[in-house]
Structure 1
Amino acid sequence: MSRWLKCLAVVITLSLALGACSRMGLAYRNLDVIIPWTLSDYLDMNGEQKGWFNERLKEHLSWHCTTQLPGYLDWLDRLQVMVETNQVTDAALQSRTQEAKQAIAQTAREITPSAIELLQGLDDNQVAEMNEAFAKDQRKRQQDYVKPSLVQQIKERSQRMEKRLDGWIGPLSPPQQQRVVDWSNALGDQNTQWIANRVHWQKQFSAAVAQRQSTGFPQRIETLLVNRESLWTADYRKAYANTEAQARSLFVDLMAESTPAQRQRLLKKIEGVRKDFNDLKCLKAAQQS
């Protein structure tokens, strides 16, 4: 439950797919880059659990590679066409975002039974360890993202975004840099709502795991992993809607102001992600069958 596919890296579309997919191609052995949950950050599994987990990991990765990655290649094609034809619009980004969310949800549904089985097998010490790790995570994120003044939060958010964008389209022009600053200002105290909602989710997850032998546990975990948006706080729901809208607006404007060199760099990055996928042996096997 740590990084939710490590999303929100560049803008909502790039973060939901390109940012996550580039990691997939380079570190495909790590479940936490393809599914919205990971226990590795929060507890130490015993030998038996690790053996079981590794076997399930292989099964899930095989399923994901053979059934899901071909669709990701199609998704990349649609994104590439948007950039090549200069049709990066709000409506198009909404479509790509929705497609990415559906792919994430499908993967979450697939691995949920394994998550339930693993969680049901935790002992009390492991649950206590997990809860302490949650508390440590909360303290660190409060320190890093909420404690700084709002002015500092906005400045650091702008810097993070500019750094990420530099990796995808190269150095930004002064107008593009200002657009990033405006974007960060428009998000305001989004950090506060994000962290508060994260704490809210972790508390619900801990409460569910405390009742892991109850008959209602599987359904509760499925809700927490697959339908997590239904558990968001009202404040975060509003903040997230604004975050998505602002991200789309930012990307549309950056592309409108982009140079041919920047667009070419972005297309090259997309092609690099496609190559990472195509180089995976499991995908080659699926394409040949």
Structure 2
Amino acid sequence: MLRRLKLLIVLLSLSLLLSGCSRVGLAYRNLDIIIPWSLNDYLDMHAGQKSWFNDTLKEHLAWHCTTQLPGYLDWLDRLQQMVDNNQVTDDALQTRTVEAKQAIAEVAREITPSAIQLLQGLDDQQVKDMSDALAKDLRKRQDEYLKPPLEQQIKERAQRMSKRLDAWMGPLSASQQNRVTAWSISLGEQNEQWIGNRARWQAQFIDAVQQRQSADFAQKMQQLLVDRESLWPAQYKVAYAQTETAARSLIVDLMAESTVQQRMKLTQKIGGVRSDFKALKCLKAAGNT
């Protein structure tokens, strides 16, 4: 639940990680509505908690817009330069990925104290309801991503990637589509690894929240929300690194085969995201201070 809060803020900001939001600025301006609405699926807060949460969320969003978004604009500039200069290489993508992870970690560090305060104030029924909601969400993901035969999982993964790419580059050529299919095949049973790791994280999270009055609760939450990779089994760390490598290789190959029209569309999309961010009132206000 709180992991979703963190990811909502960052993924809506680092908009190139989104697949379907054509107006990033509109989504960002409405995070104060989107985030509470999303959390309603996991946590039924009483009036006092809602009031505190909404006030705290506004403070975090103001901090994010004034201190983090300027860096995202620079990140988008560097991304656009890669495309314009035909320098979409593995090394460059690794650098952009590290920068994105650093941005996510910065947000996690900022919101974790508030998350701890909220969780420590939950009653036993709220914790039970949250646990049940997380379990339901996990079962839904298992049904969607694990129940189909492996061949279907691979096909659907390729379809999801093609849809994302189409939104940013336009229609793929037959050769590019074949490369996407090969990428999906190479990941094999990645769905099982991903869902399995999510299940482990949720179990650790709920176990910690059930002991929310313990002396080491804050330390546990810090690890779960900020340093979660330290909790990954060695096997999953290897699998995750391989998944990242495969994704970078896919992007490098697709860009090497890209047409002028595809690169133009990608550049326009990046520019549109940048314009949406620059138009935000909170960012303009920060620039005038």
TM-score (ref. length: structure 1): 0.92
2:215 alignment counterpart: 215
Tell whether 2:82 aligns with 1:57.
no
Q: In 2, are the aligned partners of 1:24 and 1:33 still within 8 Å (CA)?
A: no
- Unpaired segments ≥5 residues, structure 1: none
Q: In 1, are the aligned partners of 2:42 and 2:134 still within 8 Å (CA)?
A: yes
Tell whether 2:282 aligns with 1:279.
no
CA distance in 2 between counterparts of 1:169 and 1:6 reads 24
2:148 alignment counterpart: 148
Post-superposition shift, 1:254? Answer: 0.5
Q: 1:32 to 1:185 in 2, by over 3 A?
A: farther
TM-superposition CA deviations, 1:217-243 (whole Å, max 9, x none): 011101100001111123321221111
Superposed CA RMSD? 2.3
Among candidates 9, 16, 19, match of residue 17 of structure 2? 19
**Residue type at the aligned position of 1:18:** L
Post-superposition shift, 1:279? Answer: 1.1
Q: In 2, are the aligned partners of 1:5 and 1:33 still within 8 Å (CA)?
A: no
2:126 alignment counterpart: 126
Post-superposition shift, 1:68? Answer: 0.4
2:31 alignment counterpart: 30
CA distance in 2 between counterparts of 1:24 and 1:272 reads 9
TM-superposition CA deviations, 1:267-287 (whole Å, max 9, x none): 011011101111110000111
| Number of equivalences | 281
**Residue type at the aligned position of 2:58:** K
2:7 alignment counterpart: 5
2:110 alignment counterpart: 110
Tell whether 2:254 aligns with 1:254.
yes
**Residue type at the aligned position of 2:159:** Q
Could you say what secondary structure the match of 1:27 adopts?
helix
2:233 alignment counterpart: 233
Could you say what secondary structure the match of 1:154 adopts?
helix
**Residue type at the aligned position of 1:274:** R
Could you say what secondary structure the match of 1:96 adopts?
helix
Post-superposition shift, 1:6? Answer: 6.3
Q: In 2, are the aligned partners of 1:183 and 1:250 still within 8 Å (CA)?
A: yes
CA distance in 1 between counterparts of 2:185 and 2:161 reads 12
**Residue type at the aligned position of 1:30:** L
CA distance in 2 between counterparts of 1:246 and 1:212 reads 39
Show structure 1 runs of 4+ deviating over 6 A: 31-34
Q: In 2, are the aligned partners of 1:112 and 1:225 still within 8 Å (CA)?
A: yes
Percent identity (aligned): 65
